[in-house]
Structure 1
Amino acid sequence: MSLYRLDGGLDLAEYLLSVDSADVRVNRRVYLGDVECFVMGGVLRSDAPSWADHVQSLTGIDFDFPGDMRFAVLLVPLPPWTYALTWGAGHLLVDSELIEQAFGLMFGIRRLDCARLGLVASSALDATARATQTSFPGGSDLGGFRLEPYGELVNRVAGPADLRGLTYGKETGKPYRIKVGNALWAPLAREPQALLADLRAIGEAVDEPDDHSALRFVAQTRPLPKSHPKRAELDSRLAAALGGDEAAGVLGLAWPDDAVRDVEEAGSFRIQRLGPWSSYVVDTNIELSAFTERFKLISPQDRLDNLKTARVVTCIDDVGQEESGSLTSLRKWFAFETTIDNVRYCYHQGKWLRIGEGFVNQIRDQVAALLKNRSNLSFPHWTPTGQRDDEHRFCELTAEQDGYVCLDRNFASTPFHPRFELCDVVGPGDEMVHVKWLGGAPAASHLMIQAQVAAQALRDESDVLEQLNTKVRALDPGRPYMDPSVIVLAAAGRTWDVDQLFTLSQLGLLRLHRTLRHLRCTLQFADIPYTPKKSSRAAKLAA
């Protein structure tokens, strides 16, 4: 059985979706004690499975048979909430837009035994698109799961929990292995009055302080449901920002998770279906103004609809003719941040996230301290030319200094990483320097990913260090053997200033720092002197 919590106040039947294939056998009001509830049950019927033709073509056997899935849903209103108990396929009938996000997690934070967790599933809030699920049959503390305390969206947790206050806890006095996410999977009472008491006890537990829990960081960053009371205002602010209104919040560009590899290899981007005009092409040095100038011509009330329908396709050539990737929604190409009532809201990968203001301040303070780790390397002045090889020219110019070596575009290769850059420049003290013009969040993400991939390859793949030394000695024959441990992020276009970084970029830096520490590497920062590009002020605001 799964337990969900829903926004209260609706007629009970409105919480359930209408499913054409449902053969409903029970559909009526019932009473649990003096609480009027609603129950639905029956069978969900399906046609032949989608894979039937494939397996028949391979074996000659006809797999054309339908399937049945039994379901039951019990809706229990206990204002200000309505609880949904589902059995079998019943969860498929509950309207997901009304479900309280992370309700089960809120219970788990307060009641799970954090020293004996059995499973944790999470995803990273960055451009890596990393999703993980780790389990320990015998249980482990948080250290065993190597969870990142910053920018990690925990989706599910399982483990033994204290069920005091619930019927099971009262009758047995023992912990029980529960699973939590948006729903709570736990043993609940079979008798009506006891079930109502269990639901009230669960609600009280969710309202308890979480100061004692090692899992409390899980609650700091959560997805925002469409029914959230601030959604209308947030969407309005995003629409205003798309049209260039800087007072609405900070808008920037961000690479979509599902197109990182395509973007890396692109020569240009073709924008389709943005407004009533024909498609247009932008180069890989894409600027925010390439979009905001178009959105200004669209009425504010229509901008989000256009954001959803517009598509970006990567092209291998520089004129947008030869497609090299799949279409991605334009809504995944923007990052936006704004603050309402001391709560920070972030738009990332087409979804809204809530980040508690206290957590934002904590992140900011730690990033500010991290950015004090400055490199003493020297760099020439970077004057942008607008050419595609700007970065390479700058790296070659840097390497004209004594002790510096340019490795930009000099790719290494391993079975795990077929084509990657070890760094852009090697410093005189064997520093591995990664160089980037920070024109927006995509560049910041690329810089961090490149540094992490290179460092992990150097430490974890046996022949990479030899490849590095071979490449460096080919350019500097008298160079002693290298075993680098200092990683430098060198940036132009802006300085390394916490106030110029998106919250999610700050999270990425903290995660990179933590990873490099595990790899026995030191992270440093360098500001490259530069001449600004000619671009709109909005494009410069955040990375």
Structure 2
Amino acid sequence: MNAAAGTKSPTTRKTSLYRLRTMGAGGAEDLATMVVPRYLDRDGFHVATVEHGPLQGLLVSGTIAPGAADWCATLAALSGLTVQEENRTSLGLLLVRTDQAVYALSYGMGHLMIDPARIDPGFGIEFAVRCLDKDRITKVRRQIMDARGRTDENSATAGEHIRGFGIEEFGEIVSQISGQITDVPLTFTRDGRRAAHVTGTDRSVKIHLGSSPVDLVEDLCSIEEVCARPNPLPEFEFITQVRPLSPRSERAQQLDARLDLLLGTGDTSRMALAVPGECRDRFEFAEAFRLRLAGRNELVAALDVADLAEAVRARPQGQRLATLRAGRVEMFADTEAADRLSRKVPADQWVTAEIPDGPVHYFYWQGQWYEVGAEYLTAVRRRVSELLARPATVVLPPWSKGEVEAAYNEKVAEQEGYVLLDKDTIRTERLRGGGLEIADVLGPQGQLIHVKRTDSRKGTAPLNHLFAQGRVAVETLRYDLVAREKFVAKLDELAPGHPADRSFAAPTVVFGILLKDGEPMTVDSLFAFAQVSLLHTATALQGMGAKLEIVSIGRGPIG
């Protein structure tokens, strides 16, 4: 109801709210088991049972005073004066039990006291996408779930439509979304004069909650009613199809065990090399990799998932994934490992793996597990099928058994109007002195043809490289004027009068792929993560004005 003019608004406070996972009968479980044990008996911390009106729960609070701030000495040295200030960190945590669940209200740094394994990682996004106003979104943070591994964050102070943030329907994980909510009765909006804003993350909801026991319980009931809605709002449905799992959750630990078993089989058909986000910008310029893994310390010219899996294969069951996580990979721009391109990155972050479990699939990516729903996978397969069905404008002959890639590219280029570009690189300052192949072969209308053969040992790692190569080639031609001028000069030298559009404003990119044994390219023959990567590459190319064609190369006789 609307309050009369001058009536004071109900008291609320913006709070970080977590939903906790219970074990067994939630109503009987000791709430103290959901708190990190060291805080329960720490000096200066207080633990008390709460029974206040309708509110039942557990309160934990305290202050950490580790001593002088670490910047005191620096300020004293700079100013010549005595500086004595102390860091003090306050922690407040209220666990509240309802008929449906257990919630944690965090104040200060109180979230540090929650046992991470108990946090429901889907709660924040689950709530937000069921009540946000699609036209009043203020912030979105998402991760690109492909070889780039990039995190983007975009804001709109006044709020705008969710589609204005450019979120991809496939291949992106939304880890935070903020905006105005509608149709949720809360203490904060009871007077009818204020609109509530929330931030939903993959761990929590930040929202104004009532400051009295009765108001808080009513607010929690309203939040539960929203989460109980069977489906998210149509505009947000695609966001919920991929969600991260807490690393310490029971499901993540079960998946760790299954991946550990898979690493012991030597089968990498459901694994691929995934370049960590921090390495992506310089990966194309890497000439060597330092691999420190399972007692090995060696320099290799190229890295693929089979190298990483084979290094831990002989380890005892239960130790393979742990060994991979303890290993390190370092990139270098030269073959002597003198010009470092990256830090020592955990080896498991270079691996992605798919674990199917009925209609749901799980992906290990960037060192974390993600759950992918059946509807998402169905939509991915539909989009990939559409890509594969596009007619091709080039002819790629059969690939003879025993024929190396260089020889096959020469055979393609023997056709009238085709130009061999394989190993013919261009170099610019933007490329840090490294060479870049714009394509393996140029087609008769200027198509940029990229060719790759896969085999069972390397899984889909060659495809990930192929997709990245096509995208980087178009980015370079579009944004690097020097590179484009050098490529055009090279083309004029190799094939004067070729009809290719020298502006490359709307190029056609062709991925020519030979699968093992020459099997046809279908959604069933592509690793699901590779399908997502392909879709994201197709969208990126479309955004740069490029068209994409995919050609399945057949197997010819022994060469």
Specify the alignment match of 2:439 in structure 1: 423
TM-score by length of 2: 0.83
SS in 2 for 1:114: strand
- The code of the aligned residue for 2:378 comes to N
SS in 1 for 2:157: strand
TM-score by length of 1: 0.85
- The code of the aligned residue for 1:254 comes to A
Please list the CA deviations of residues 172-209 of structure 1 after superposition, one character each: whole Å capped at 9, or x if unmatched: 26431221112111111111022112112211211112
- Structure 1 range deviating more: 152-161 or 202-211: 202-211
Q: Does 1:363 align with 2:376?
A: no
Alignment of 1:286-305 (within 5 A): 286=304, 288=306, 290-305=307-322
Specify the alignment match of 2:353 in structure 1: 336
Determine the C-alpha separation between the residues in 1 that align with 2:78 and 2:473.
43
Q: Does 1:521 align with 2:546?
A: yes
Specify the alignment match of 1:12 in structure 2: 31
Determine the C-alpha separation between the residues in 2 that align with 1:271 and 1:457.
30
Determine the C-alpha separation between the residues in 2 that align with 1:287 and 1:216.
33
Please list the CA deviations of residues 260-317 of structure 1 after superposition, one character each: whole Å capped at 9, or x if unmatched: 456544455454342xx554565526462x4555544222222232222233344667
Q: Does 1:410 align with 2:432?
A: no
Specify the alignment match of 1:212 in structure 2: 233
1:110–1:213 CA contact under 8 A, matched in 2: no
Please list the CA deviations of residues 387-437 of structure 1 after superposition, one character each: whole Å capped at 9, or x if unmatched: xxx655654554344322333442253759875443332211111122333
- The code of the aligned residue for 1:446 comes to H
Aligned match of 1:185 in 199, 206, 211? Answer: 206
Alignment of 1:439-458 (within 5 A): 439-458=458-477
SS in 2 for 1:84: strand
SS in 1 for 2:169: coil
- Structure 1 range deviating more: 183-192 or 252-261: 252-261
Cα deviation for residue 218 of structure 1 reads 1.2
SS in 1 for 2:48: strand
Q: Name structure 2 gaps, 5 residues minimum.
A: 1-14
Specify the alignment match of 2:256 in structure 1: 235
Determine the C-alpha separation between the residues in 1 that align with 2:167 and 2:133.
16
Q: Does 1:39 align with 2:54?
A: no
Q: How many residues align?
A: 526
Q: 1:75 to 1:418 in 2, by over 3 A?
A: farther
Aligned match of 1:115 in 113, 131, 135? Answer: 135
SS in 1 for 2:63: strand
Q: Does 1:71 align with 2:71?
A: no
Q: Does 1:489 align with 2:511?
A: yes
Alignment of 1:86-101 (within 5 A): 86-101=106-121
1:312–1:327 CA contact under 8 A, matched in 2: yes
2:450–2:466 CA contact under 8 A, matched in 1: yes
Q: Percent identity?
A: 27
Cα deviation for residue 226 of structure 1 reads 3.5
- Structure 1 range deviating more: 413-422 or 83-92: 413-422
- Structure 1 range deviating more: 335-344 or 19-28: 19-28
- Structure 1 range deviating more: 205-214 or 14-23: 14-23
Aligned match of 1:506 in 531, 534, 543? Answer: 531
Q: 1:159 to 1:272 in 2, by over 3 A?
A: same
SS in 2 for 1:450: helix
- The code of the aligned residue for 1:223 comes to P
Cα deviation for residue 461 of structure 1 reads 5.1
Determine the C-alpha separation between the residues in 2 that align with 1:460 and 1:292.
37
Determine the C-alpha separation between the residues in 2 that align with 1:260 and 1:392.
26
Determine the C-alpha separation between the residues in 1 that align with 2:82 and 2:430.
41
Q: 1:415 to 1:279 in 2, by over 3 A?
A: closer
1:21–1:44 CA contact under 8 A, matched in 2: no
Q: 1:451 to 1:68 in 2, by over 3 A?
A: same
Specify the alignment match of 1:197 in structure 2: 218
Determine the C-alpha separation between the residues in 2 that align with 1:355 and 1:314.
31
Aligned match of 1:375 in 392, 409, 412? Answer: 392
2:354–2:362 CA contact under 8 A, matched in 1: yes
- Structure 1 range deviating more: 22-31 or 47-56: 47-56
Determine the C-alpha separation between the residues in 1 that align with 2:468 and 2:175.
23
1:163–1:175 CA contact under 8 A, matched in 2: no
- The code of the aligned residue for 1:487 comes to V
- The code of the aligned residue for 2:213 comes to P
Cα deviation for residue 171 of structure 1 reads 3.4
Q: 1:23 to 1:63 in 2, by over 3 A?
A: farther
Q: 1:493 to 1:342 in 2, by over 3 A?
A: closer
1:268–1:314 CA contact under 8 A, matched in 2: yes
Specify the alignment match of 2:243 in structure 1: 222
2:266–2:313 CA contact under 8 A, matched in 1: no
2:116–2:248 CA contact under 8 A, matched in 1: no
Aligned match of 2:362 in 330, 345, 349? Answer: 345
Cα deviation for residue 452 of structure 1 reads 2.0
- The code of the aligned residue for 2:383 comes to Q
Q: 1:225 to 1:399 in 2, by over 3 A?
A: same
SS in 2 for 1:67: strand
What is the RMSD of the two structures over their aligned residues, measured on CA atoms? 3.5
Q: 1:313 to 1:464 in 2, by over 3 A?
A: closer
1:151–1:508 CA contact under 8 A, matched in 2: yes
SS in 2 for 1:458: helix
Q: 1:228 to 1:24 in 2, by over 3 A?
A: same
1:412–1:422 CA contact under 8 A, matched in 2: no
SS in 1 for 2:209: coil
SS in 1 for 2:60: strand
Determine the C-alpha separation between the residues in 1 that align with 2:171 and 2:497.
43
Cα deviation for residue 84 of structure 1 reads 0.8
2:135–2:159 CA contact under 8 A, matched in 1: yes
Specify the alignment match of 1:539 in structure 2: none
